[in-house]
Copies of this chain bind each other. A is one copy, B any other.
């Protein structure tokens, strides 16, 4: 495990901290689609992502949901951070977008490392900042863009995250992520296909134009 951590995090953390992570962290391989965090649950570990991607959604009480952002290599979940620090329930949902490797850190270490390691503090602050900015960008999309542009942005983000132009998903799943209905997504995807921007197949969408 130490090899993977070292590869991805040695430029961020000092050796001593890397060693501690290695001591107390648990290495995990998560398959695509696995639900890491359920809304309303308590969180006892904090994930450090080594490879892959995690989709973070806002999960409503009534089952409504909406994509907030993706986490990638080098990221951690700010909501998890604050839930850990303040021992609150999660207000979000997290699902492995691709097969993902990560290290779970027990929350007790959070406070300790925050006072002990400057690099850890910077990492945590930087994570908070990134997530806040991404959340605000999500607000931009919802507030300022029409559904067709939001859809296009979503497709582009998906291709970026998964490093392929072919997105394996259903119209219904996209509708969940963007909090709209399947019919709306099908309609708009068809429009994008007519413009030559995507090619539609069953269970997959090929993004032609970037």
Contact = CB atoms under 8 A, between A and B. Distances in A.
Contacts of A179: 143-144
A40 to B, nearest CB: 14
Interface string A140-171: 10111000000000000000000000000000
A26 B153 CA distance: 43
Interface stretch (A9-17, A130-138, A186-194): A130-138
Contact of A121 (B60, B81, B82, B115): B115
A72 to B, nearest CB: 19
A118 interface: yes
Interface residues of A, number: 34
Within the oligomer, what is the number of copies of this chain?
2
A29 interface: no
A58 interface: yes
Given A115-B118, A142-B139, A133 B91 contact: yes
A129 interface: yes
Nearest to A85: B125
A107 to B, nearest CB: 13
21 contacts: A58-B139, A58-B143, A64-B144, A68-B136, A68-B139, A79-B132, A81-B129, A82-B125, A82-B129, A82-B132, A86-B129, A91-B133, A91-B136, A115-B118, A121-B121, A124-B125, A128-B132, A131-B132, A132-B132, A135-B139, A138-B139
* Among all A-B residue pairs, the 9 with the closest Cβ atoms: A82-B129, A128-B128, A135-B135, A66-B143, A142-B142, A143-B179, A64-B144, A142-B143, A85-B125
